[in-house]
A and B are shown apart, each in its own frame.
Chain A
Amino acid sequence: MDNTVMLSSTAERIYWMARYTERVENTSRLINVNFDLLLDIPHDEISDLVHLIEITSSLDKFSKKPTKENILKFLIYDQKNSGSIKYCLEMSKINSRYLRPLLPKTAWEQFNNMHISFLSSYEQTNNSSILHEVIRDSQRFFAIVSDAMARNDVYNFIKLGRFIERADMLSRLIEEQILRKEAYVSKHYENLQWMSILKSINGYESFKILNKEELRRINVLPFIIKDKNFPRSLIYCLDQTISPLKELPSSKESLKVISKLKDATKNIKAISTDKQIKDFVDFFQKVLIDVHILVSKNYFIN
């Protein structure tokens, strides 16, 4: 056996650090894209923003008057909102403290820079520059990790946490955004709306290379669910959780569960009904929770 072994508590912290960092990036991109969309579509912007609260957190935590400023403050800066960017950054920071010995020095420094630049920025909701910065910082952090880290257990838990989080957020996005009643957005804007969804998962350009025609549910949905080459599709996320689990001990059961979920994901068709998609997403989220429970049971301090 390797002379260096990973503590259970360390595994848990790495996993959460990666999840929270990924969440910060996803949430930032989500808000950012909707920010842009608001400028384009003449409609009830408040309800669109409220909808962001539904994806990232829960509506009953939001008690203020639903103005644009209040909602954005809640999403970005509210420390009591466990889905806010500030909260997630704080949590990733707390977990990262323990990881200093395990991360490459440059990754650790990048982590600090991300926090410093967010905390030292003004609290403002007029433009999205801070969101751009957070996205760039998080990407840099993960870039250093993939570029500089030995493929060891630390790396495996970063990957595991990161892709479980990404799959989770993606499934919420599909659930909320795709199946949302489009009462107040006319068909005329469908193209724009699908574009915003793709942009919020950084996939617009990748999609366009494959599909030149207009964006419609029938071609976008299969892309974000089961295109195995796109790093923010559900199926890609599942593949990325399989590879670290294969390296870790006692992962047989988790791998079996994920493999089943993969089959269900592959079975989704472009012509599946809203109801079928909805049922699938529910199932997907349930299994993801099971995977998380198995990971905690197998590796964390119980």
Chain B
Amino acid sequence: MNNKWLTYSSNIFFDEYLNKNSKIRKGFLRASLFFSSLKPKEKKYYIESCKSAINSMGVTFRVYDTDNEFKDRQWPLDIIPRIINQKDWSTVQKGLNQRTKALNLFISDVYDKQGFLELNPVLKNLVLKSSNFLPECCGVKPKNNIWANISGIDLIRDHNGKFFVLEDNLRVPSGVAYMLENRNIMKRVVPELFNEYEVSPIDDYPSKLYRCLVESSYTTSKYKTIVILTPGVYNSAYFEHAYLAQQMGIELVEASDLYVAKNNTVFMKTIYGKKRVDVIYRRIDDRFIDPLIWYKNSKLGIPGLYNAWKQKKVSIVNAPGSGVADDKAVYAFVPKMIRYFLNEEPVLSQVKTYVCAFKKDLEFVLNNIETLVLKPVNESGGYGILIGPKASKTELNKYKKKILDNPRNFVAQPLIRLSTAPTFINNKEQPRHLDLRPFTLAGKNFFVTNGGLTRVAMKKGSTIVNSSQGGGSKDTWIIQ
């Protein structure tokens, strides 16, 4: 269709709304008609009513500045939806299920026979020395042999529109509440746009999550007591913890609400006295959950929880130690894992990754640093990343030194030209880069959300999408 809506041209990047000739892609016509029919005044009205809906729904996230002072910021949502068709999405879902399965088998293997590690000595060395590897977890067998019940696997689309896995988040991935709230806000603000498409619903996630948590329980009681363990109201993801507890109708607890009795069962303190807990969905890093075993000074943990878990008196989701697969160096080995554990070819591609622990890769990285994206293996939230093509000579040299000091700590990837989608910037549609975090559940069954949380880099040309660093978001529509 002739494009009277978007005035920018797309050529080096894959724009999800515009094709190479700057014409609106098929499937995006109705959205384009809707937005192009809006007068500037109406546009402004929609954008403002989106903000006020977010305000009164209290959708916030917390950021800390350099002085460790916090601020609650309004959740940033752009009202132009990100649209993906069901056919493409089905492949992605298949790929994510496959990946989740393989990663879980890998974690089981790490804490058991270590067969895969034996075949890959460099990986073995990396894993066993990783701070995410918790030797105390060896020999433990979580229910259904699932360690990472909940994962958030980040996807991007390259300059051809092809989906790639960017990273695996298996510790305490966050963002799902914002995915759900984005949809609620959009329904409130632009209901007329929903009439134009058959958008796959996403609101069944909390009930699927609940079922997944129930399935992870060792106990046979008919009514399971399931709790979400949060570090507290000052945590940046507290909004989500409270949101999920509410949606599932379960208790949101902090360490002081729980204790481990002499017989290793876990109880929570209620106004009617103690109550046995069957499953803990922890939203705390595993090394904080039991001060007797890991971080001794942790005030977020419950003394004795590790033993209760090991003796199968309580389930902890995700299982302690599952972070071992949540490592940007381990990521490089996932295709191998899929072949080894499942005897299948990977459905989803992933970004070529140079693991600096390999001598050959290290050499390549040092020689080509100005073309690569450098990442510390153990950071999340976009921290510590260096984008080679945008860095100065001094920055590059400084980073080189950092890599040489501890090669194991770094991986590098070629710079992917992330796809873009029109986004309102000062009430004008501008192309901005996107990624996508779908959420997967693993238990007796596997489940992938319809879509996920689309994050948007709000600065022109930027690819940093993290909300802690000023990123925005879009509602993600899987359409029939």
- A and B: interacting chains: yes
Which of chain B's residues have a CB closer than 8 A to the CB of A298? 271
Which residues of chain A (96-124) have a CB below 8 Å from chain B?
97-98, 100-102, 108-109, 111-113, 116
Which of A4, A109, A116, A301 touches B269 (beta carbons < 8 Å)? Answer: A301
A235 beta carbon closer than 8 Å to chain B: no
Asked if B253 and A113 make an inter-chain contact with CB atoms under 8 angstroms apart, the answer reads no
CB pair B223 A9 closer than 8 Å: no
Interface string of A2-27 (1 = CB under 8 A from B): 01111111110000000000000000
Number of residues from B at the complex interface, CB < 8 A: 24
User: Is A248 positioned at the interface, with any CB of B under 8 Å from its CB?
Assistant: yes
Q: Give the interface centre of A101, A111, A299 by most chain B CB atoms within 10 Å.
A: A101
Q: Which residues 238-294 of B have a CB within 8 angstroms of A? A: 238, 242-243, 245-246, 249, 251-254, 256-257, 268-272, 275
Q: How far is the CA of A298 from the CA of B269 in the complex (A)?
A: 12
Select one of A11, A94, A112 contacting B55, CB under 8 A: A112
CB distance from B134 to the nearest CB of A (A): 29
Shortest beta-carbon distance from B449 to chain A in Å: 21
| Nearest B-chain residue to A153, judged by Cβ | B271
Contacts of B38 in A (CB 8 A): none
Q: Are B58 and A100 in contact (CB under 8 A)?
A: yes
- Say yes or no: B268 contacts A7, CB within 8 Å: yes
Given A113-B56, A116-B55, A5-B233 contact (CB < 8 Å): no
Nearest Cβ on chain A to B151's Cβ, whole angstroms: 24
**A1 CB–B CB distance under 8 Å:** yes
Within 8 A of B (CB), among A139-165: 153
Chain B residues within an 8 Å CB radius of A112: 55-58
A110 (CB) vs chain B CBs: closest residue: B56
Q: Which residues of A contact B238 (CB under 8 A)?
A: 97
Tell me whether A42 is interfacial, beta carbon within 8 Å.
no
Interface size on A, residues (CB 8 A): 28
Name B268's closest neighbour in chain A (CB-CB): A7
A153 neighbours in B (Cβ, 8 Å): 271
State whether B246 touches A100 (Cβ < 8 A): yes
Contact between chains at B269 and A8 (CB < 8 Å): yes
Contact pick for B271, options A6, A94, A98, A111, CB 8 Å? A6
Q: How far is the CA of A116 from the CA of B55 in the complex (A)?
A: 8
- Nearest B-chain residue to A302, judged by Cβ: B269
Selected contact of B242 from candidates A1, A8, A101, CB within 8 Å: A101
Task: List chain B residues, Cβ under 8 A from A4.
Answer: 249
Inter-chain contact A94/B233, CB cutoff 8 Å: yes
Contact of B252 among A98, A108, A111, A299 (CB under 8 A): A98
Our pick among B242, B253, B256 for the contact of A100 (Cβ within 8 Å) is B242
* Contact residues in A for B251 (Cβ distance below 8 Å): 7, 10
B246, B256, B272: residue with the most chain A Cβ atoms closer than 10 Å: B272
State the Cβ distance, B357 to closest chain A Cβ, in Å.
43
CB distance from A224 to the nearest CB of B (A): 33
A9–B272 contact, CB under 8 A? Answer: no
The answer to whether B242 touches A5, judged by C-beta atoms less than 8 angstroms apart, is: no
Interface residues of B in 79-123 (CB under 8 A from A): none
Decide if A5 touches B256 in the complex (CB within 8 Å): no
Q: Report the nearest A residue to B258, measured CB to CB.
A: A7
B275 in contact with A5 (CB, 8 Å): yes
* Contact (A98, B233) CB under 8 Å given A109-B56, A109-B57, A109-B58: yes
Least distance between A59 CB and chain B CB atoms (Å): 31
A7 and B233 contacting across the interface, CB-CB below 8 Å: no
Whole-angstrom CA separation of A113 from B246 in the bound complex = 20
CB neighbours (8 Å) of A1 from chain B are 272
Contact A299 B271 (CB under 8 A): yes
- For B275, list chain A residues within 8 Å (CB): 5
Which of B58, B242, B256 has the most chain A CB within a 10 Å cutoff?
B58
Query: Chain A contacts of B246 at CB under 8 A?
Result: 100-102
Q: Which 7 A-B pairs have the closest CB atoms?
A: A101-B246, A5-B270, A112-B58, A100-B242, A299-B271, A8-B269, A101-B245
Contacts A100-B246, A301-B256 known; list 12 others, CB within 8 Å.
A5-B271, A7-B257, A7-B269, A8-B270, A98-B252, A100-B242, A101-B242, A101-B246, A112-B58, A248-B271, A298-B271, A299-B271
Can you list 9 A-B pairs with a CB-CB distance of less than 8 A? Answer: A4-B249, A6-B272, A7-B253, A7-B271, A9-B257, A9-B269, A100-B243, A101-B245, A113-B56
